[in-house]
Amino acid sequence: MATTGKERALPTKVAAMKSRKRQRLTDSTDQPEAPAKRAKTAQRPDALAWRAVPRPDRMENSEGLIGDLEEVEGIDVIKDDSTGRVTFMSSKPTPNGQLGNGGDDERLEDGDEWSGFDDALTEPENVVAPASTKVAPALEKVKKAKQKKAKDSQKQKQASKASTAQTAKTAKTAAAFDAMTEPIASEEVDVSAWRPIKLSPDTMSSLSKLGFANPTPIQSAAIPEILAGHDVIGKASTGSGKTLAFGIPILERFLELRSSAQRTEDAKAPLALLLAPTRELAKQLDKHLKALCSNGLFERPSMATLIGGLSMQKQQRLLENADIVIGTPGRLWEVMSAGQGTIKALKQIQFLVIDEADRLLSEGHFKEVEEILNALDRQEFDDDDDVEASGVNAVPLNQVRQTLVFSATFDKSLQRKLAGKGKAGGDLMSNKDSMEYLLKKLNFRDEKPKFVDVNPISQMATGLKEGLIECTGPEKDLYLYALLLLHRNTRALVFTNSVDAVRRITPLLQNLGLPAVALHSHMMQKARLRSLERFTQAAKAGTASSSILVATDVAARGLDIPNVQLVVHYHLPRAADMYVHRSGRTARAGQLGSSIIICGPEEVAGVRRLVAKVHARASSEEQSASEAAKQGFYIRTLDIDRRIVSRLKPRITLAKKLADTVIAKEKGHNKTEDLLREAAEELGVDYDSEEMEKTDNGRRGRGSKRIANERNARNLTRADVGAIRAELRALLAQRVNVGVSERYLTSGGVDVEELLRQQENGGDNGNGGFLGRVGVLGME
């Protein structure tokens, strides 16, 4: 194939890239023509209008090995399969300039490599589209031509059908996030309490429309420091408004630059870069900030949210014009390193925000975070602009930006150091994935960033009540059921430590007539969103119906789901900070909520220590756990009347049988797994940590018994299953006599809370016969 002189000079790798690109271009031949749109003539390749393009950032350090890159637009590459001959057909622009000129209408159609979320979720309607498309434009154009040609009448019909379904899906998926981030109020409120912070009238009016009458403590404390230009490390309890603590100053700076016309279209670089550990949290940041900016009369900042599952090209284009960039480290690094001039643009950011900082580390994102930070800090000069030679004193990049780090939890010893009370010295760089190391890498511009800790005594929300329920391992399901029955008409989040436990408990609760949905990391992204949507919709509706989300720790951090009143730790959290984050899904934004741990008798002492540690003062980090416990916080055991719980047992037994049947049949087809499982059983070892439910102190749990149950369940016939179902239905409709009066519990119809309220108000046996003061589970 003939090539341009320049192209011949390229190394093999780049030539191969081009050749791959062209190979893909030949696909256009299998689509019907759209003659009205173009007039084509065969051209010699070297006669095509090749145009130089900048090298992707990742290739910048190629030390001259890679020659110039070029691209060409508006051509079709036709390959004759029989001769292998390739012809380049140039396409003349149509009179309205729609083909090959990067016009708006084309942009609306591209980026169709949807894989995960819907486009509407990521393309903010206020984003001004880039004037020219720099990313692989030839490929883009031909793809669009291909789409246009493909619109024959039959396909059009299918497309319109699909698009209707897609629109519905888009709206639905978007709704899941909407629900998570719904502003608290939509009526304007008096915001005079914000005056001491000295915000602009635009921001004040936004806050008023959001219904946020008062700043939260972290907002009061952090915003002035950030506005004064300091680096800030912010710690505040879960649900306390940390997002706007950094979001408001970013908006303020945006408005300031806009009004002083410093931020012209020509010199536009992103103002802020926000890193979040998960896709859900990145989307949530996006929604919170949009909500803040959407109520004012000002022009909103453009936002680009870079997360996996979406078209890279589209994200790169969004980035070109973004004021605020939000991303998960993996995708952000991918986009940064493949982009052209992206790193250079991001070096100019004025704010770098690390949200849920400790989770970034626990999610194993450290390497990417490190790459991003290194790239942002690398000082670069034009080829002939050697610093030493020129004697130019460049402004260090970290001086250009403020760094803001936020979380609800920080390691206690780190907190002490940040607060200036820790021991000096120590090898900070030795523990490479520690928070301390991250903070070192962050290269703050202040010698000492401001550590804003608005809750040094407790990391827990003030409206949170905590308690524990003591029962043996095999009784956990029973007690969970009893607890959820007692909390009918509430939104409850049940946390487990394994995906398998979620898979088992969810159908178990559903069989018992409770509206449970599952959320874990092995679910497809769309299924995760669907679960969240079902849960949040119920939560948002605020109806009397209950709603239960059974989840792994994937849901533990940051998610702002409104109106969750109860968090249950079915398994003990693996670390103290996880207890804080899980419990933080309730009692948010000044509301009330309960967090209840279900644990075995042998675990109680450990649980008490864990909870006491969480409540212990940051300054007393060196004290022993028992000392911390003595300090005051003592998590109470909630008494549940065992006689009553035992009456629920037959229901649980049947519901478990049913759930086991479904699980066993699902697994039934996997012979290898069975063989491995049985072999492991014979050897008396765990087959898989997720398959074999363990007790939380690491001892072997009920795995063997469950395998036997599953085997039995697999052998059940359809008639057997039908009989169990009928038996369970009958049981669920029956009274569970509390032994004191004709009170009863069922899975439906009876409002247990009402029942117990009556008892509290002087009904027979004021103690309820079932639970001690159930309204707050004895936690008043």
Where do contacts with ligand ATP occur on this chain (CB under 6 A)?
A: 183-184, 212, 214-216, 219, 236, 238-244, 408, 558, 560, 584, 588-589
Question: At what angle are helices 312-320 and 329-338 packed, to 10 degrees?
Answer: 80
Could you give the CA distance from residue 567 to residue 494 in angstroms, rounded to a whole number?
6
Can you read off the two tokens belonging to residue 297? 């009369």
Could you give the CA distance from residue 431 to residue 409 in angstroms, rounded to a whole number?
18
Can you read off the two tokens belonging to residue 271? 């103002």
Q: Which residue has the tokens 């279209």?
A: 265
- Using CA atoms in the order 615, 619, 625, 628, what is the torsion angle rounded to 10 degrees? -60
* Shortest Å distance, C-beta 356 to ligand ATP: 6
- The residue ranges of DSSP E strands in 176-313, in sequence order, are 232-235, 272-275, 303-306
DSSP character at residue 690? T
CB atoms within 10 A of CB 440: 12
DSSP character at residue 771? B
Could you give the CA distance from residue 1 to residue 6 in angstroms, rounded to a whole number?
14
Residue placing its CB nearer to ligand ATP in the complex, 45 or 241:
241
Residue placing its CB nearer to ligand ATP in the complex, 208 or 337:
208
* Shortest Å distance, C-beta 660 to ligand ATP: 35
Pairing of strands 69-71, 450-453: unpaired
* Shortest Å distance, C-beta 355 to ligand ATP: 7
Residue placing its CB nearer to ligand ATP in the complex, 239 or 329:
239
Residue placing its CB nearer to ligand ATP in the complex, 219 or 565:
219
* Shortest Å distance, C-beta 216 to ligand ATP: 5
* Shortest Å distance, C-beta 307 to ligand ATP: 17
* Shortest Å distance, C-beta 562 to ligand ATP: 7
Could you give the CA distance from residue 630 to residue 616 in angstroms, rounded to a whole number?
10
* Shortest Å distance, C-beta 239 to ligand ATP: 5
Pairing of strands 464-470, 636-637: parallel
* Shortest Å distance, C-beta 303 to ligand ATP: 16
Residue placing its CB nearer to ligand ATP in the complex, 74 or 241:
241
Residue placing its CB nearer to ligand ATP in the complex, 335 or 464:
464
Residue placing its CB nearer to ligand ATP in the complex, 117 or 212:
212
Helix (H, G, I), strand (E, B) or coil at 765: coil
- Given a contact cutoff of 8 angstroms between Cβ atoms, the answer to whether 666 and 655 are in contact is no
Could you give the CA distance from residue 342 to residue 315 in angstroms, rounded to a whole number?
11
> By CB neighbour count within 10 A (0-12 exposed, 13-18 middle, 19+ buried), where does 596 fall?
buried
Q: Distances from the Cα of 201 to the Cαs of 228, 229, 247, 258, 433, in angstroms?
A: 18, 20, 16, 14, 42
Residue placing its CB nearer to ligand ATP in the complex, 235 or 651:
235
- Given a contact cutoff of 8 angstroms between Cβ atoms, the answer to whether 182 and 540 are in contact is yes
In 3D space, the residue among 85, 87, 90, 56 whose CA is nearest the CA of residue 74 turns out to be: 90
* Shortest Å distance, C-beta 502 to ligand ATP: 21
Residue placing its CB nearer to ligand ATP in the complex, 484 or 555:
555
* Shortest Å distance, C-beta 633 to ligand ATP: 20
Residue placing its CB nearer to ligand ATP in the complex, 287 or 694:
287
| Element (DSSP H or E) covering residue 69 | strand 69-71
* Shortest Å distance, C-beta 204 to ligand ATP: 12
Pairing of strands 303-306, 593-599: unpaired
* Shortest Å distance, C-beta 772 to ligand ATP: 30
Residue placing its CB nearer to ligand ATP in the complex, 283 or 503:
283
Residue placing its CB nearer to ligand ATP in the complex, 69 or 452:
452
* Shortest Å distance, C-beta 178 to ligand ATP: 12
* Shortest Å distance, C-beta 440 to ligand ATP: 23
Residue placing its CB nearer to ligand ATP in the complex, 403 or 511:
403
Helix (H, G, I), strand (E, B) or coil at 353: strand
- Given a contact cutoff of 8 angstroms between Cβ atoms, the answer to whether 182 and 562 are in contact is yes
Residue 381 sits at φ, ψ, to 5 deg, of: -130, 155
Q: State the first-to-last Cα distance of the chain, in angstroms, to the nearest integer.
A: 82
Could you give the CA distance from residue 54 to residue 69 in angstroms, rounded to a whole number?
7
CA angle 513, 667, 655 (to 5 degrees): 20
Could you give the CA distance from residue 733 to residue 462 in angstroms, rounded to a whole number?
39
In 3D space, the residue among 678, 708, 705, 709 whose CA is nearest the CA of residue 694 turns out to be: 705
* Shortest Å distance, C-beta 94 to ligand ATP: 48
**N residues, the chain:** 780
* Shortest Å distance, C-beta 727 to ligand ATP: 43
Residue placing its CB nearer to ligand ATP in the complex, 560 or 690:
560
Q: Which residue has the tokens 């700076």?
A: 253
Q: Distances from the Cα of 186 to the Cαs of 203, 294, 295, 662, 726, in angstroms?
A: 15, 12, 10, 45, 48
| Element (DSSP H or E) covering residue 172 | helix 153-180
Residue placing its CB nearer to ligand ATP in the complex, 240 or 295:
240
Residue 242 sits at φ, ψ, to 5 deg, of: -65, -35
Within 13 Å and on the Cβ side, how many CA atoms surround 702? 11
Residue placing its CB nearer to ligand ATP in the complex, 100 or 239:
239
Residue placing its CB nearer to ligand ATP in the complex, 208 or 219:
219
* Shortest Å distance, C-beta 110 to ligand ATP: 34
In single-letter form, the type of residue at position 15 comes to A
